[in-house]
Structure 1
Amino acid sequence: MNQTPSQVNMDQTIGPSAPLLCDTDPPYEGEGRNLPPPPDMVPGRGTEPPVIQTNWNIPAISEGIAREAFIEYAASKCCYSKAPAKEMVFQDLQSFNTYRYRLETFTESRSTVNKVEPYRGEVIDYHMNGVIPLPWDIRVEVPDMFKDTIKEIKMPYTSSLKGCSVCGCGGRRPCGTCNGSTRQRCLGCGANGRIGTQRCSLCSGMSTIICQTCGGIGTVACRNCEGKGQLLSYVELQVEWKNNIFEYVADQKSGFPTELFKSADGERLFVDEQHMVYPVVSFPDYAINEASRNAVEQHHVQFASTSRILRQRQTIELIFLTRVEYEWRGKSYCYYVYGNDHQVYAEKYPRKCCCTII
């Protein structure tokens, strides 16, 4: 008996080769973000504050370094003349050496997310196979300290197999281009069958051609299950390691824009790294001691209840800052030299020219 095209299409709709198992969901309800670690993972803090050396000999920059830095600064600007930097007469060099405090708290947080993906024939780890571990009971190797990393792990005994509701477990859906009819409008002749007075060679005058999307089958693979007809459901453990940074720069009231310190290289004076650091209490600049106390308390409150604190590191850097006052052609000016790399900030420069690039 002859079959119509629609009957042929229905017969060619192939179901999944694996048996369809509509298992019940594993007994692991909902999703959890930043799940709190167990009490035995909450870190304790050391009992002794760090001892800090206080007899640093901090030299000021010389006039030669100040002039060389200013000349390089002028050379880097296309419209600045080097003459003021070369000819200036120094009036005063004021040192405003300041300090940058940084606290790094390296944390590990864990979250669970319900995931669904096409079933590709892998072994299914059903919840009947064992007891589902708690998120913090799963052993995960810690990556390099103080580097942000994310790792995703399929939790044991949380998998189940389900039929795809989009395609009715068949793996295929009606073609959206031809709506299952196996043919589509001929674009060469606009479905007229003719181009001018000539019969359309593309569709032979039929005004339709075999559907280019489904190849004349009338169905396409289901995108939801990638044509498998089945979906694998499981719980994914997401482990995130993050380096949380608190930074503070002491303001010396020098008139220098403090935001420029972010790009400045400093000289490291003090490093304290341990499981949980104790606030700095003996630094000569009281503002640094206060910043350390606030940072340690803030990070403990912010992260201890939702994350596992693995390591902390606090550093203090000296950032060189010199205000240079000079005279050029009878007028007084100033600029700043800052950082180990002797960067320059000058709000006003004595001689500029207007350059026009043609």
Structure 2
Amino acid sequence: MAQQGYPPPGAPPQQGYGAPPQGYGAPPPQQGYGAPPPQQGYGAPPPQQGYGAPPPQQGYGAPPPQQGYGAPPPQQGYGAPPPQQGYGAPAPPGTVQQGAQSAAWTPNAVAEGAPPHKFDNAADSDPEDNENATEGGDENPDVNSLEPVPGYETVAFMDGPPVPPPAYEPPSESDRPQEVFDSRDGIGEEAVRAAILAFVDKHCCYGSRPAKNMTISKIIPSQALHYQLETFNEARSTSRKFKPYAGGYVDGPENGAPPPVWSMACKPDQQFFTHKKNLEVPHTSIVRQCHRCQGCGFVMCGRCHGRGRVRCSSCHGSGRRTVHRDGKSHRVSCSWCHGSGRRRCGRCGGDGRVTCPTCQGHRQLRHFILLTVSYTNNLEDYILERSDMPDELIRSVSGQTIFQQTLPFVWPISQYPVQEVNQNSIRLVDKHRTAWPNAMTLQQRQTLRSVPVTEAHYDWKDISTRFWVYGFEHEVHAPDYPHQCCWGCNVL
């Protein structure tokens, strides 16, 4: 008796609708791992999938067998599209798709074991340019895309102009203090001779014979007057700033109205010292998606332009190198790139993406208003020195302070016996009162110093000239010293 599912002996194999059906009790064709493959050839019926299903076609141009009649290919997940790997490139099935993360994104954590990016149809840039490439994207977002902050609607990301301070009242005449001056005499001949000897010792090429044997014929002592006016100002400006947001408290506008610029308390670290301090304006913080990576946490690698590989710098992309052996040149496969001409990008690790430098992978930014307080010490001076010595030398030496005054607003000197000092004090004080309309004056300090200056005339051999000794340090100015280069010295 012929078995069910097999033709009688000697009969040709049957195919199509005339094949004996697989009725009840017949084992169904096995599918899956471990099942034997369906038999094809004479004497074996083709396996049928479903009742009335046509047999699979064999030969060139035949479509692949489908599971079910008209069933689509299987998808990963319920209705989910295949995950994308790299920067905008689809990945083969079996890879892991990046989901929502609360921590910062790192390139190699997602692309572990991913296949290399395809770069055969794309032109590579030079290796030298790859080293200096940077990731694209705007550094600052559009200010119009952010909500305006009450009282700070015009603040941009660049530092704005100083905000004018509140009006103040000038001091009255009754607050003017009394002026008290002091004085001090100059130096004598012994101090002048000791100063010129010390001056020569500081210069290795100067000969000491003129300083030791000179004859000082005249000493003219005098006092140089050095007037200084310092105005210590405070200026305030605002700008928009942002920082990567990794969670935490956000002091936003819902906590109250932001305070005005000049109502926030801030004190300088030191009087009459130029420095800056930055304060965050309260109630101005908002959290927004990163504008550079669009909330992804990563951007395209600027070195490989998202390909994951760069041109090999050893073989310049050719995949082969020239080596010299036994006096001959040989072309061998490049050992750095293994003959491919390209290497894995060292910046992104072959993933084609790097952590967003703006949000540092946190995907969100906290925007706020930053208050910049600039403390500036504005200094101007006037020097009265009646000899031929250069006046600027007086600034670098010390002298006797004969008058000093520190007030919110100083009064110009008007009772000093030298009228040039009184006139220039009035000029500088009037100038400083209106020179900085967008800054608040915190303190002013005026100082009048008396610097001793001694002009010494001397004779040595047939030379008659002079030099100057000035300041408490007894510095010397001797441009006409005879032996400025000693005998046999080649140092210029």
For structure 1, which segment, 282-291 or 138-147, has the greater mean C-alpha deviation from structure 2 after superposition? 138-147
Partner of 1:51: 178
Alignment identity in percent?
A: 32
- Equivalent runs, 1:1-358 vs 2, <5 Å: 6-8=89-91, 12-13=97-98, 17=102, 24-27=147-150, 28-31=152-155, 32-39=160-167, 41=168, 44=171, 47-53=174-180, 56=182, 58-195=184-321, 198-252=332-386, 254-303=387-436, 305-353=437-485, 355-357=489-491
Q: 1:330 & 1:336 partners in 2: Cα distance?
A: 20
For 1:238-265, what per-residue CA distance to the aligned partner results, in whole angstroms no more than 9, with x for missing partners? 011121112111132x111111111121
3-state SS in 2 of match to 1:290: helix
Work out whether residues 171 and 225 of structure 1, in 8 Å CA contact, stay in contact via their aligned partners in 2: yes
Larger RCO: 1 or 2 (CA < 8 Å, sep 6+): 1
For structure 1, which segment, 258-267 or 218-227, has the greater mean C-alpha deviation from structure 2 after superposition? 218-227
Q: 1:318 & 1:166 partners in 2: Cα distance?
A: 61
For 1:20-74, what per-residue CA distance to the aligned partner results, in whole angstroms no more than 9, with x for missing partners? xx862323222442211112x55535635443345x5632311101111111112
Work out whether residues 183 and 400 of structure 2, in 8 Å CA contact, stay in contact via their aligned partners in 1: no
TM-score (norm 1): 0.87
Per-residue deviation, 1:191: 4.1
Work out whether residues 183 and 450 of structure 2, in 8 Å CA contact, stay in contact via their aligned partners in 1: no
Per-residue deviation, 1:328: 1.7
Work out whether residues 320 and 339 of structure 1, in 8 Å CA contact, stay in contact via their aligned partners in 2: yes
3-state SS in 2 of match to 1:86: helix
Q: 1:232 & 1:156 partners in 2: Cα distance?
A: 13
3-state SS in 2 of match to 1:283: coil
Instruction: Give the residue type in structure 2 aligned to 1:26.
Output: V
User: 1:225–1:334: structure 2 CA closer, same or farther, 3 Å change rule?
Assistant: same
Instruction: Give the residue type in structure 2 aligned to 1:311.
Output: Q
Per-residue deviation, 1:353: 3.2
Per-residue deviation, 1:230: 2.2
User: 1:100–1:200: structure 2 CA closer, same or farther, 3 Å change rule?
Assistant: closer
User: 1:48–1:214: structure 2 CA closer, same or farther, 3 Å change rule?
Assistant: closer
CA RMSD of aligned residues (A): 2.8
Unmatched segments (≥5 aa) in structure 2:
1-74, 77-81, 104-144, 322-329
User: 1:332–1:228: structure 2 CA closer, same or farther, 3 Å change rule?
Assistant: same
Instruction: Give the residue type in structure 2 aligned to 1:7.
Output: P
Q: 1:170 & 1:94 partners in 2: Cα distance?
A: 80
Work out whether residues 456 and 467 of structure 2, in 8 Å CA contact, stay in contact via their aligned partners in 1: yes
Q: 2:240 & 2:282 partners in 1: Cα distance?
A: 13
Unmatched segments (≥5 aa) in structure 1:
none
Q: 2:209 & 2:179 partners in 1: Cα distance?
A: 45
Q: 2:180 & 2:304 partners in 1: Cα distance?
A: 80
Greater gyration radius: 2
